[in-house]
Structure 1
Amino acid sequence: MLKIKNARVIVTSPGRNFVTLKIETEDGLTGLGDATLNGRELSVVSYLTEHVIPCLIGRDAHQIEDIWQYLYKGAYWRRGPVTMSAIAAVDMALWDIKAKAANMPLYQLLGGASRKGVMVYGHANGENVEQTLEEAQKYKAMGYKAIRLQSGVPGLASTYGVSKDKMFYEPADNDLPTENIWSTPQYMNSVPKLFQAARDALGWDVHLLHDVHHRLTPIEAGRLGRDLEPYRLFWLEDATPAENQEAFRLIRQHTTTPLAVGEIFNTIWDCKDLIQNQLIDYIRATVVHAGGITHLRRIASFADLYQVKTGCHGATDLSPVCMAAALHFGLSVPNFGVQEYMRHTAETDAVFPHAYSFADGYMHPGEAPGLGVDIDEGLAEKYPYARAYLPVNRLQDGTMFNW
């Protein structure tokens, strides 16, 4: 038995907020789990501190599946981003401990490597097509095999995915929500022009991706997907809000552009119909928001039955702890597709020293036991929590819309 002696939550903000759970066993082993929920961080802190941690003390850290079921079924109130982020943090930390106890990197404990490295994609963005392609050339020169393209929309003051800081885009930008203005017709007119120019400038030996960010109706998404077919996108992400999984059937009827969705999904139930009806090509659920490694493996195994691949969310609100977990997961699962990789700042990397690395378009979690990530608690204390919200969207007539 590897008895849990203590667990506590560490909140730090080295450029943005992170919530980290640290579990300690009586044998002196420690494990880290990411519990960051962008814009709602303190909700998860409270859930962990007040409701979850008291239930962990004295339990056997080796019983990962049983503890997962206990926290999911035992709470009665299931699912939701707060609950599942808290469970994910516990799950990550316990896998970290188990792999350290076995003295092996986590991916070995998950069945070993299924590939030499994890292909990642970077984010190229600009206020116009020319700036976006200039950034894309930089990523291509760095060795990236896959690049997401986002560009400003003529006539709109701001657009999702476009930022002043190109390498370290952080959407949670204000201590109260920033309000953006949106126009679907202007957007629909601009995107095909971006990808036509991109193929002319970048060629055909790099994968190109695009994020709609839930802003189209199914029929609008079908039209955009069809318009983009000549440019052979790797995927079109979050084309429409996915609460209604059946909506993707209408998109499928109108385009062969591959579809990806799921970064805000919490459980397998959010994507069950999408996967079994083969309405998507990539599932983007992530370790921290979908209940940890234990549950994400379940989603991936189910998806593999229907030839749906993984494409896990990897924005800067996932700490290096979660990025490491995603890389161990991605290296091990047979139906891996691609991993999003938004580079953390030097300040964040200093707080979370890690073993993972990037080279020639691929990442590897490294060979350190466990997740291969630590936290410098003394340095973390120097970066106190700072409230930050994600933006909101309104249409040009003032109607509240999807951000």
Structure 2
Amino acid sequence: MWIKLLIMTCILSVINCEDKEKTENDMEIFASKIKEKYKEVKIDENDARKKVIRSELISANEVKPPSDDYISVGIIVCNVSTSRLVKGIMRMFSKMLKSMFAFSTGSPIHLVLITDAKSHQYVHSAVANTISKHLSETLIQLKTDILTPDWEILSKFPKLWVEFVDVKSISEKNIDKIKLMREYFSLNTTEVVTMPLEDAEDGTPRVGHVSPKYNDDLFYIAPFYGSELIHVNRFIMLDADLDIRQDLGELYKYFHLMNSTEIIGITTDQSGYYHIAIKFILQKMKEDGKMYIQTVDNMKLRGLNTGVVLYNTEKMRNSAEFNGYLEKEKIVGLTYEIGLAHGWFQVGDQDFLNAVMWRAPHLFKVLPCEWNFQDPKLRLKEELKCDQKPKILHIHGEIHDEYSKL
């Protein structure tokens, strides 16, 4: 018997080694494809792009818009050559930049790209190449559309200032709190986790898959934008998998519509991701007679999605209430405060901010759904679908497509 067990153990070891070797080989292929597609672009003193791109990797506390006219827009683009996390991030990021430029009506943009040392070169190349390509295509359009004045088309390309921020300059300064957040607001695993969901209306069983990417520090930095971006007072944060269909100056106007207590502008979740949690909490509130959630606003009860967020970083720095939620004791106890047990939350700082919103709803302003029109592969509640024409389209899942679609 022990001989059979020994043979089976050896066979399984060989299979595991083969799987590991195949995975490592796939990752090497992916990294080489990224390196080939996004070759280093060096911008010399005579290059016009030098005026709009600060090429070096800097700390968050060095970030500064050229003037108050510029809209600071952040995007996280990290781990771009690591296929096991987010395979399609560079493809989606480049597509997003094109849409931002294409729908610009001239609002000055301060683009803050949060990345890591290994990804910096590739992200820099993507930005430089996208700017060049957009301007070249614009000039071709000028030659073919003689009815449109040159200055009218060129003036729509936004005034631009691009900076690259080392993600570690945010994460390492707050690493103790981030470790706690990871423990309470993720599944804390390096493997894909499959979880059962509510059955469909016709009784079909459904499951969800949680990416291991939420084990990475970068998914816990949002609450610290106020304390780390010390020269930025208003900050629009966007996911890399968006299709922008409106000048971002229109989105920026919502900062002026926030009241004195509102410090973060969010759109609500449109997939039903928080449906099971909120159903459980509301029932628990009835049974226990406690107000675990401090809002009856149906929109906020849906939970939030951090694909598009407006952070009033000046207010974040100065809000004792918000910063109180960043104390270690509060991070540990927040899940229990809203009536849930450890293990409910899975997706990092989105879940953390959602828990804060349910406890302190007055800190959050709900934005119109069209500014983060979500098109998930699986929608648990159809009534949550946005009924407006998208101004920013958020296609969930496409960012995880295979590297063959780079």
Q: Shorter chain as normaliser: what TM range? A: under 0.3
Structure having the higher Rg: 2
TM-score by length of 1: 0.26
**Which structure has more helix as a fraction of its residues?**
2
TM-score by length of 2: 0.26
